[in-house]
Amino acid sequence: MAHRIGIISALKEEQQGLVEAMRGTATLSHGNRDYTAGLLWNMDAVCVLSRIGKVAAAMTATILIERFNVSHIVFTGVAGSAHPGVRVGDIVIADHLVQYDMDASPLFPPYEVPLTGISHFAADATFSSQLNIAAHQFVSADFEKSLGSAEKGEFALNNVRIHRGLIGSGDQFVSSKDQLRRLAESLPGLLAVEMEGAAVAQVCSEFGIPIAVLRTISDNANEDAATDFMRFVQKIASPYTFSIIKNLMLGLQK
Ligand code: SAH
More confident residue, 200 or 239: 200
More confident residue, 234 or 121: 121
Cα-to-centroid distance, 196 and ligand 1 (Å):
10
Cis bond before residue 106 (omega within 30° of 0): yes
Asked if residue 189 lies in contact with residue 165, where contact means CB atoms within 8 angstroms, the answer is yes
The whole-chain average pLDDT of the chain stands at 96
When pLDDT is averaged across residues 222-233 and rounded to a whole number, the result is 93
CA 157 to chain centre: 20
Query: pTM to 2 decimals?
Result: 0.97
When pLDDT is averaged across residues 171-183 and rounded to a whole number, the result is 98
Torsion, Cα 247 15 101 91, to 10 degrees, reads 40
Torsion, Cα 105 106 110 114, to 10 degrees, reads -70
Q: Beta strand 33-40 with 22-30: parallel, antiparallel or unpaired?
A: antiparallel
> Residue 154: what pLDDT?
84
Rounded Cα gap, residues 136 and 154, in angstroms = 23
The pick from 15, 49, 55, 78 for probing ligand 1's pocket by mutation, whose C-beta has the most ligand atoms within 8 angstroms, reads 78
Cα-to-centroid distance, 9 and ligand 1 (Å):
11
The pick from 50, 87, 229 for probing ligand 1's pocket by mutation, whose C-beta has the most ligand atoms within 8 angstroms, reads 229
> Residue 1: what pLDDT?
57
Q: What would you report as the CA-atom Rg of the chain, rounded to the nearest whole angstrom? A: 17
Cα-to-centroid distance, 120 and ligand 1 (Å):
21
Is a pLDDT exceeding 80 seen at residue 211?
Answer: yes
Query: pLDDT tens-digit profile of 127-173?
Result: 999 999 999 999 999 898 888 888 888 888 888 999 999 999 999 99
> Residue 254: what pLDDT?
87
Query: pLDDT tens-digit profile of 24-44?
Result: 999 999 999 999 999 999 999
Cα-to-centroid distance, 136 and ligand 1 (Å):
24
